Amino acid sequence: MQKKNELDIQRQILEIIYRSIDDLGEEVQNLKIEKKPETALLGRSSVLDSLTLVNLIVAVEQAVEDEFGMPITAIANEKAMSQEYSPLRTIGTLSEFITSILIELTEG
């Protein structure tokens, strides 16, 4: 896959994550999460409690499936949920991680 495509996909994923945050904001009161790649999802700097994070990840997973027209393997495995080197550290690392899953799936 070309680098440009990879960046396009990542941008698309970021949009999906931001949309999912907006949707979550309608369910969770006082959800204050900045929509930018540096925003922390895990660890002390994160404003999300564990259930809200689970809800966000599931919402993103389903939105990605809908937009790309194929099921993807679970984003949140136990490795991903641990804090050190987790792809869920920030919105940016999450988008990179999902992009890599999609590239792997499309390249078979």
Query: Is residue 71 part of the contact set for another protein (CB under 8 A)?
Result: yes
Q: What's the angle, vertex CA 65, arms to CA 61 and CA 68, rounded to 5? A: 130
Query: Is residue 55 part of the contact set for another protein (CB under 8 A)?
Result: yes
Site for another protein in 73-102 (CB under 8 A): 73-74
Query: In Å, how far are 6, 40, 87, 90, 97 from 46, measured between CA atoms?
Result: 27, 5, 14, 9, 18
Query: Is residue 29 part of the contact set for another protein (CB under 8 A)?
Result: no
CA distance 7 to 39: 19
| Residue 82: both structure tokens together | 């641990």
Residue pointed to by tokens 């949009």: 15
- The residue among 47 and 54 lying less far from another protein, judged by its C-beta, is 54
Query: Is residue 1 part of the contact set for another protein (CB under 8 A)?
Result: no
Query: Is residue 61 part of the contact set for another protein (CB under 8 A)?
Result: yes
- Please give the residue ranges that form the binding site for another protein (CB under 8 A): 51, 55, 58, 61-62, 65-66, 70-71, 73-74
